[in-house]
Amino acid sequence: MKVLVISGSPKGKYSITYQSAEYLKKHFNQDEFEFIHVGNKVRKYSESSAIEECIEQMVKSDLIIFAYPVYTFLVPYQLARFINSLKKSKKAKLLKDKFATQISTSKYFYDTTAHRYIDENYVDLGLKSLTGLAADMDDLLTTEGRNQLKSFYLNVRFEMENDIYNRSFSVKNKSHAFIYEGKAREVKKKEVYDTVIVTDCSSENKSLRNMINSFISAYKYEIREVNIAEFKFAGGCLGCFDCATDGSCIYKDGFENMLRNEVQNADATILAASIVDHSLGPVFKCYDDRQFCNGHRVLTKGKAVGYILDGHISSERNLQDVIEARSEVGHMYLVGIATSESESNDEITKDIENLAKATAFCLENKLVRPQNFYGVGGMKIFRDLIYVMRGLMKEDHAFYKKHDIYNFPHKQLGMIIKMKLVGMLMSVPAIRRKSRGMMNKIIIKPYKKAINKD
């Protein structure tokens, strides 16, 4: 069997995920493995000739494996850009019905959304998506992890032999040809809250530009715009950890200054983009990945965030999850999403006006809400990771200490002692019989007191 591994890591052969693929090559030597490193050769694989050569290799293969580290909820910018170029090629139709799977490595931080993103794009390309492997970065170092890797590959072979593949992603995204034609109007603005629109809108994208202008008209406060399509990125995040000690990126293109002085200091951020490849597209992916210069620090806590999206968001369940998760992990208040999904200008205008009203209301009333699983679970993964790596991740460690993010269960000594005493008492049959029916009253007592506070 011919296996083609497409490595999406910017680290090339120094990628942990690549080592996993090398392990499979060694232990399943009856199969012929070939590798293409698109992650550290992204400029080359943006050219049509290189993409066509890659497609030819994919067509000759029996199995295609995308191997990548998880970067900010999805794949690295470099792989996202490759996928975008791949889908634009006229030869991409030759890939129909080829088997494909994926291997990712991370610390289990939203590997689920990364895998669904790849699955969705596999379907767009006509590939048959097989069960993937989401591994921990250290799995290859353990016997259990290596056994899981071998089990994954055996299962992939089984699925191929029996033509078993994932049909849950068989519905493609709807095409979106409608162009929103809302008109902007001049309105006097108040300079009270600093609000910024971050967009990659090009001059050709009239629909998105009209949506942005309509939001500016409807919004009651002054607003700034930062167009990241005009920013000269030196490249995508390299995952080099050069920023770990002092927060300074190895690239000297001014991105950190732009991010911190033009975006993150705003009270509210509106992200405006077109839905491309089940995401916000390659430019926004580069922008998101480069925010790793902030490490794992929550520098947007208490801010408001909203989205203006040109496209069909209702058919993008995974993108909806990514949007919610990003706001939760960033401790931001998600005020809403306005889209051009309707083919009625009036309905889209209403959607945009509602987003403008919700953003202003959120800022005026300093709205907050408790985090859900996306934010709490994500931060606990980082909490444990940074604590272990605190010798290297100095900036993150200092931030976590200062903001009491190291809220480990063993630090709740009072609750632990209280629960031990309750457990000892409840182990006495006579006390347990007497307390029946009283436990709920005891539990609710402090909550009753809280009602009368503030």
The string of pLDDT tens digits covering residues 61-113 is 999 999 999 999 999 999 999 999 999 999 999 999 999 999 999 999 999 99
Q: 6-20, 230-244, 395-409, 436-450 — which is least confidently predicted?
A: 436-450
- Given a cut of 90, is residue 274 above it in pLDDT? yes
Does 245 share its domain with 299? Answer: yes
* pLDDT at site 285: 97
Does 344 share its domain with 439? Answer: no
Does 25 share its domain with 119? Answer: yes
Does 106 share its domain with 217? Answer: no
How many whole angstroms separate alpha carbon 197 and alpha carbon 273?
10
pLDDT tens for 4-28 read 999 999 999 999 999 999 999 999 9
Is residue 377 situated within a structural domain? Answer: no
Is residue 182 situated within a structural domain? Answer: no
- Given a cut of 70, is residue 173 above it in pLDDT? no
Is residue 389 situated within a structural domain? Answer: no
Domain end position, chosen among 364, 390, 425: 364
Is residue 181 situated within a structural domain? Answer: no
Question: Which residue in 200, 175, 227, 218 sits closest to 351, CA to CA?
Answer: 218
How many whole angstroms separate alpha carbon 401 and alpha carbon 393?
12
* Residue range 276-295: mean pLDDT, rounded: 95
* Paired tokens of 20: 């996993």
Does 52 share its domain with 147? Answer: yes
Amino acid, single-letter form, for residue 294: N
Count CA atoms closer than 13 A to 123's CA, side-chain side.
Answer: 17
The CATH number assigned to the domain holding 219 equals 3.40.50.360
Does 63 share its domain with 106? Answer: yes
Does 331 share its domain with 274? Answer: yes
Does 154 share its domain with 44? Answer: yes
Does 56 share its domain with 202? Answer: no
How many whole angstroms separate alpha carbon 9 and alpha carbon 241?
14
Is residue 257 situated within a structural domain? Answer: yes
Q: Round the average pLDDT of the chain to a whole number and report it.
A: 91
Is residue 349 situated within a structural domain? Answer: yes
Considering its fold, how many domains does the chain have in total?
Answer: 3
- Given a cut of 90, is residue 443 above it in pLDDT? no
Is residue 333 situated within a structural domain? Answer: yes
Is residue 179 situated within a structural domain? Answer: no
* pLDDT at site 343: 87
Containing structural domain, residue 427: 412-451
CA distances 287 to 226, 375, 391, 418, Å, are 12, 21, 27, 48
* Paired tokens of 34: 């070939």
* Residue range 218-224: mean pLDDT, rounded: 94
Domain end position, chosen among 343, 364, 385: 364
* Residue range 318-346: mean pLDDT, rounded: 94
Residue 446 banded pLDDT, cuts 50, 70, 90: confident
Q: Assign residue 201 a region (left: φ > 0; alpha: ψ between -120 and 50; beta: otherwise).
A: beta
Does 17 share its domain with 157? Answer: yes
Question: Which residue in 101, 203, 105 sits closest to 157, CA to CA?
Answer: 101
Does 11 share its domain with 128? Answer: yes
Residue 397 banded pLDDT, cuts 50, 70, 90: very high
Three-class SS state of 382:
helix
Residue partners of 385: CB distance under 8 A and separation at least 6: 107, 296
Does 233 share its domain with 347? Answer: yes
